[in-house]
Structures are given as structure tokens and as C-alpha cells.
Structure 1
Amino acid sequence: MKQSHNSHESSDEYEERIIRTGYKRDWRQCKKEMDKFKECWKKNQKNQTEDQK
């Protein structure tokens, strides 16, 4: 039981961190941030592929 309590506390810590970052519970309100993330992800995937050659 103690183990599940600790994991519950850990998830609460993560939820608090997410809320502090400005989480709005609706991805559509963060569309600009999501677009920036996707662009960065694609760029880094391309760089990773080139580095493996």
C-alpha cells in the first residue's frame, strides 16, 4: 500500500508542475505552442537521421 501512496504523490507532483506551466486543459488553446513543438520535433528528427549516416 505504501508504494501506491508514493506513486500517487509522484503523479500529484507532476500534475502540479504541468499546471504551473500554464496548462489549460484544452490543446486548442495551446495551438501555437504545439505548432512550435512539432516544428522543433521534425527538425531534430531530420538532424538525428543525418547524424546516423
Structure 2
Amino acid sequence: MLYYTLVFLVIALIAGVLGFTGIAGASAGIAQILFFLFLVFLVISLVMGLVRRG
């Protein structure tokens, strides 16, 4: 999931440099959503790992 976040971030940066603001905005939004989903899954995974040990 983090891989796709980086891919959309790179697409947003390239589109922004080339002047495609609509594509850049959409790609940046998708990258942001995927990044926060990644963080949520990371926290859930860490909590579940701590619960299993205890």
C-alpha cells in the first residue's frame, strides 16, 4: 500500500510540474488517502501484536 502511495505522489509531482493541475490534485488526494490508510493499518497491526504477546 505504501508503494501505491509513493507512485501516486510521484504522478502528482510530475503532473504539477507539467501544469496538469487537475490530475496533480487528484493524484495527491489519492496518495494522501492511501497514506492515512497505511498508517491506520500499521497502528492496528502494532496493537494486535502487543495484545498477542500479553
Query: Structure 2: how far apart are the matches of 1:26 and 1:38?
Result: 21
TM-score by length of 2: 0.50
TM-score by length of 1: 0.51
Larger Rg: 1
- 2:38 maps to which of 22, 38, 44: 44
Q: Which 4+ stretches in 1 moved above 6 angstroms? A: none
Cα RMSD (Å): 3.0
Q: SS where residue 38 of structure 2 aligns?
A: helix
Quote the sequence identity (%): 0
Query: Structure 1: how far apart are the matches of 2:19 and 2:45?
Result: 32
Gaps of 5+ in 1: 1-17
In the alignment, what sits opposite 2:26?
32
Gaps of 5+ in 2: 1-9, 48-54
In the alignment, what sits opposite 2:4?
none
Q: 1:31 to 1:51 in 2, by over 3 A?
A: same
